[in-house]
Structure formats: structure tokens, C-alpha cells
């Protein structure tokens, strides 16, 4: 079910794809996607002729990406982004959908950045999407993420996005309706570590990376907007 809900809540999101595509055009070599999930970004870039390696620590998601990537230059790897080994040097690493903020501490983020740098070609870049400060969400988003499959209906409704101490809590209600009308629902919560672009740039500097720009992804209904921090290997 992890792969199904991932597809429902993330698979149709496209507001950032043009930015990743533009960054990939300037990369002379393989592209690494952190937290690749079921392949929203990895497959988009592979279909445009790029060599892509996607890593994720959820086996179900990685397997689905591998199944979908047949005939494309895309690898799906079961890896933790805080420490992995690839046999390919990379020119660009991308971290969409606030994946960096899922790491629980500065130490974890630094381990991630250092591991990427160890695989990076000279002049390589890392582009990381973060949500800096969530907007108030007193009312639920008016649109649902939904999917109908084999007579079953699955919906996901954003309930709230709230700052809670050093974290941002994103809460959704997931509902399933069977072909005969039985309903079941549960609430799902994702917690992101609060980060600013300045903080990401400072942590990047400790890994030997220099900031080279920030890009903006506008908010959509019902997804948050984000800042993409672009860092470059310094040597």
C-alpha cells in the first residue's frame, strides 16, 4: 500500500518538473535522485535521455520504479541517502519533495551531503527542495488526491500544515471505498525538520559545497510551494 499512496499523493505533482529538467540539461553525466519513490522525477528525466539513478529506503517503492523503468536508462537502488555506494560518478543530485527535511538531524543531513560529494564529478551540483515556512491552513484544501483501481476508490485529503517546534507537521486523511461501498479511513502524518535556505547552504559549506542559486516552485492546490537550494562542489 505504500506505493499506492505514494502514487496518489505525489505521482501527479508536476510543478517542479520543469526545474529538474532544466538542471539536468546542464549536467554532463549521470543524475542521482534522492528519495526517488515510485519514479515521478527519475522517469521524467530518463524519458528525456538522461542516465538516472534513483535511491530510496522503501523496498516496495524501489521495486515499482524498477518495474516502470524497463527500456529506460534508470536504475532503482534500495539505499539510505545518509550512506550509500554507487559504481557511477554523478554530475547532478536532486532532492525533490522536501526529502532532505525527512532526515532527523543536522548530522544526518551532513552525512547525506558528504556521501553525495564522494560520488560527484568535479563541478557537480546538488539541488534540494525545501519548504521554509508553511502558509496557514485553517481550512482543508478544496481538492482531493484520488485514484480508482479495480473498483476501489482511494482519496487523500490535506488536513493541515503546522509548525510544531522545530518540525513541520503535514497531516492527511486517507479514505478507501470498496466496490460494495464499505468505507475505511485513517490519518497520516509526515514530519519535516524545519530548515531555511541559509541553513542548507551553511551545512553544504561544511561538506565542501558552495551555494550557486535558489529557485522557487510555486504552491499548487493542494501542494506546498518550495525553495530549491542549488549547491556546487567546490574543487
The pLDDT value recorded for residue 189 is 96
pLDDT higher than 80, residue 83 = yes
The pLDDT value recorded for residue 136 is 59
The pLDDT value recorded for residue 224 is 76
Write out pLDDT tens, residues 29-56.
999 999 999 999 999 999 999 999 999 9
The pLDDT value recorded for residue 141 is 52
Largest CA distance in the chain: 62
Of 90, 73, 70, whose CA–CA distance to 81 is shortest?
A: 90
Q: Which domains does the chain have, with CATH numbers?
A: 2-133+194-233 (3.40.50.150), 145-192 (2.20.130)
The pLDDT value recorded for residue 172 is 92
Q: Are 103 and 136 within 8 A, CB to CB?
A: no
Write out pLDDT tens, residues 3-32.
999 999 888 889 999 999 999 999 999 999
The pLDDT value recorded for residue 139 is 47
Q: What percent of the chain has pLDDT over 90?
A: 80
Q: Is there a cis peptide before residue 222, judged by omega within 30 degrees of 0?
A: yes
The pLDDT value recorded for residue 138 is 52
Span between the terminal Cα atoms of the chain, in Å: 43
Amino acid at each position: 500500500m505504500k506505493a499506492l499512496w505514494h502514487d496518489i499523493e505525489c505521482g501527479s505533482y508536476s510543478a517542479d518538473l520543469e526545474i529538474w529538467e532544466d538542471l539536468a540539461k546542464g549536467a554532463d553525466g549521470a543524475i542521482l535522485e534522492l528519495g526517488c519513490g515510485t519514479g515521478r522525477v527519475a522517469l521524467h528525466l530518463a524519458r528525456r535521455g538522461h542516465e538516472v539513478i534513483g535511491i530510496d529506503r522503501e523496498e516496495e517503492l524501489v521495486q515499482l520504479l524498477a518495474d516502470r523503468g524497463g527500456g529506460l536508462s534508470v536504475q532503482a537502488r534500495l539505499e539510505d541517502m545518509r550512506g550509500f555506494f554507487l559504481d557511477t560518478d554523478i554530475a547532478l543530485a536532486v532532492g525533490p519533495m522536501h526529502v532532505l527535511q525527512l532526515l532527523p538531524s543536522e548530522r544526518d543531513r551532513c552525512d547525506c551531503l558528504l556521501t553525495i560529494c564522494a560520488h560527484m564529478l568535479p563541478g557537480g551540483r546538488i539541488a534540494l527542495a525545501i519548504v521554509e515556512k508553511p502558509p496557514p491552513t485553517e481550512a482543508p484544501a478544496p481538492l482531493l488526491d484520488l485514484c480508482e483501481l479495480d473498483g476501489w476508490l482511494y482519496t487523500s485529503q490535506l488536513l493541515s500544515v503546522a509548525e510544531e517546534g522545530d518540525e513541520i507537521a503535514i497531516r492527511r486523511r486517507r479514505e478507501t471505498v470498496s466496490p460494495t461501498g464499505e468505507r475505511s479511513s485513517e490519518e497520516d502524518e509526515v514530519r519535516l525538520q524545519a530548515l531555511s535556505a541559509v541553513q542548507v547552504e551553511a551545512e553544504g559549506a561544511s561538506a565542501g559545497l558552495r551555494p550557486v542559486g535558489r529557485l522557487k516552485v510555486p504552491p499548487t492546490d493542494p501542494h506546498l510551494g518550495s525553495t530549491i537550494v542549488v549547491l556546487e562542489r567546490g574543487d
